[in-house]
């Protein structure tokens, strides 16, 4: 009985804290299409090969084991918060455990990033927001030949990420520590031509748009940009709408947790897709037609 009330209490707190996200998810769900309603051959193939990719690679096990170890790691870090902060804590002292549990992209989506890199084979990858290195490892391990640069502002978090790269022998990752305002221009001029960017750092509107415009100067028609947490706040939703409207953007895919941006010139008319896994809308598989 006591246990039930406690769970209900946690559920109510969760719902109150996440009201914005719950509302946005319901709207997303109502308009999202499954692959059975996609007519663009490029997007259809991408959905089959990436979004609905059910393959499990050996490396997932290594990275997920590392995630479990980090989520039990009680070491305390002095955190330099340079971004829009966190929905859950404002303290400057944080344990590795709490970062691993709240600031790291969930496995379902890091595995989506792995599939995306595995399928698109970008040669140069940039990640803004390393944290403990979990998403970096997924992207770097998807293609060991790719050059990966990842940027992190907090030196103590960056040191843990560096340990993790060494432990998993990810030799294609270069970690640059410092505020994005310094490290982003350095990374871009080092890479020159940028094939892929994962934006997962500062979740403020102006900062996100500023990073987008800086990276765009080094992008080409085959580049792909991935934005994390596009529904995280009203600000992030506004940033996402401005990115979609940019004249160089020809195709976007919204999968709720992330937004993917393409610049393909073959795409004559600009298109925006909102996509969902088919099992989440089973009636759209055609069983009931
Ligand atoms: C959400 S976490 C990244 C999670 C990581 N991509 C993953 O999924 O494993 C965002 C990180 O960006 C860093 N960050 C935020 N704003 C920054 C800034 N202006 N300069 C440098 N780093 C920043 C934070 O310190 C934090 O570790």
Question: Does residue 139 have its Cβ closer than 6 Å to ligand 1?
Answer: no
Question: Does residue 260 have its Cβ closer than 6 Å to ligand 1?
Answer: no
Query: What are the tens digits of pLDDT across the range 81-121?
Result: 776 654 544 559 999 999 999 988 999 999 999 999 999 99
Q: What is the spatial distance between Cα 99 and Cα 121, in angstroms, rounded to a whole number?
A: 30
- Reported CATH class of domain 32-283: alpha beta
Q: How far is the CA of 31 from the centre of ligand 1 (A)?
A: 30
Q: How far is the CA of 268 from the centre of ligand 1 (A)?
A: 35
Range 140-154 average pLDDT: 97
Query: What are the tens digits of pLDDT across the range 39-80?
Result: 899 999 999 999 999 899 999 999 999 999 999 999 999 998
Contacts of 161 (CB under 8 A, 6+ apart): 130, 131, 132, 133, 136, 150, 152, 175
User: What is the structure's pLDDT at 2?
Assistant: 46
**Which pTM was predicted?**
0.91
Residue 154 to residues 72, 80, 127, 253: CA-CA distances in angstroms?
A: 20, 5, 15, 31
Smallest CA-to-CA distance from 259 within 277, 280, 281, 244 is with 244
What is the 3-state composition of the chain as percent helix, strand, coil, each rounded to the nearest 5? 50, 15, 35
DSSP lists the bridge partners of residue 177 as 152
Average pLDDT of the chain, as a whole number:
91
User: What is the structure's pLDDT at 215?
Assistant: 98
Question: Does residue 180 have its Cβ closer than 6 Å to ligand 1?
Answer: yes
Q: What is the spatial distance between Cα 210 and Cα 216, in angstroms, rounded to a whole number?
A: 10
Domain ranges, ordered by start, for the chain: 32-283
For residues 282, 28, 119, 208, the Cα torsion angle rounded to the nearest 10 degrees is -170
Do 70 and 95 contact (CB within 8 A), yes or no? no
What is the torsional sign of CA 156, 157, 158, 160?
positive
User: What is the structure's pLDDT at 81?
Assistant: 76
User: What is the structure's pLDDT at 289?
Assistant: 43
DSSP lists the bridge partners of residue 228 as 258
Do 20 and 257 contact (CB within 8 A), yes or no? no
Question: Does residue 165 have its Cβ closer than 6 Å to ligand 1?
Answer: no
| Residue 6: pLDDT band with limits 50, 70, 90 | low
**pLDDT above 70 as % of the chain:** 89
Do 191 and 125 contact (CB within 8 A), yes or no? no
Query: What are the tens digits of pLDDT across the range 31-48?
Result: 999 988 888 999 999 999
Query: What are the tens digits of pLDDT across the range 216-257?
Result: 999 999 999 999 999 999 999 999 999 999 999 999 999 999
């Amino acid at each position: 009985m006591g246990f039930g009330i406690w769970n209900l209490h946690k559920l109510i707190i969760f719902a109150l804290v996440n009201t914005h996200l719950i509302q946005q998810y319901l709207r997303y769900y109502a308009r999202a299409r499954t692959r059975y309603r996609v007519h663009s051959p490029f997007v259809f193939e991408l959905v089959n090969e990436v979004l609905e990719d059910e393959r499990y690679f050996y490396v997932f096990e290594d990275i997920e084991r590392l995630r479990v170890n980090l989520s039990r790691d009680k070491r305390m870090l002095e955190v330099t918060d340079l971004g829009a902060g966190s929905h859950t804590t404002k303290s400057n002292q944080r344990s590795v455990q709490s970062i691993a549990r709240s600031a790291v992209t969930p496995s379902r989506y890091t595995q989506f990033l792995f599939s995306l890199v595995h399928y698109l084979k970008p040669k140069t990858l940039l990640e803004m927001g390393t944290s403990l290195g979990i998403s970096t490892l997924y992207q770097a391990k998807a293609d060991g030949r790719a050059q990966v640069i990842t940027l992190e502002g907090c030196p103590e978090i960056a040191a843990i990420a560096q340990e993790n790269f060494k432990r998993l022998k990810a030799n294609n990752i270069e970690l640059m520590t410092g505020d994005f305002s310094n490290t982003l221009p350095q990374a871009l001029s080092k890479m020159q031509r940028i094939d892929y960017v994962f934006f997962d750092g500062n979740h403020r509107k102006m900062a996100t748009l500023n990073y987008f415009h800086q990276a765009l100067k080094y992008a080409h028609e085959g580049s792909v940009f991935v934005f994390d947490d596009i529904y995280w706040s009203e600000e992030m939703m506004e940033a996402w709408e401005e990115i979609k409207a940019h004249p160089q953007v020809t195709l976007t895919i919204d999968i709720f947790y992330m937004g993917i941006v393409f610049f393909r010139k073959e795409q004559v008319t600009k298109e925006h897709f909102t996509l969902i896994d088919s099992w989440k809308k089973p009636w759209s598989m055609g069983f009931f037609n």
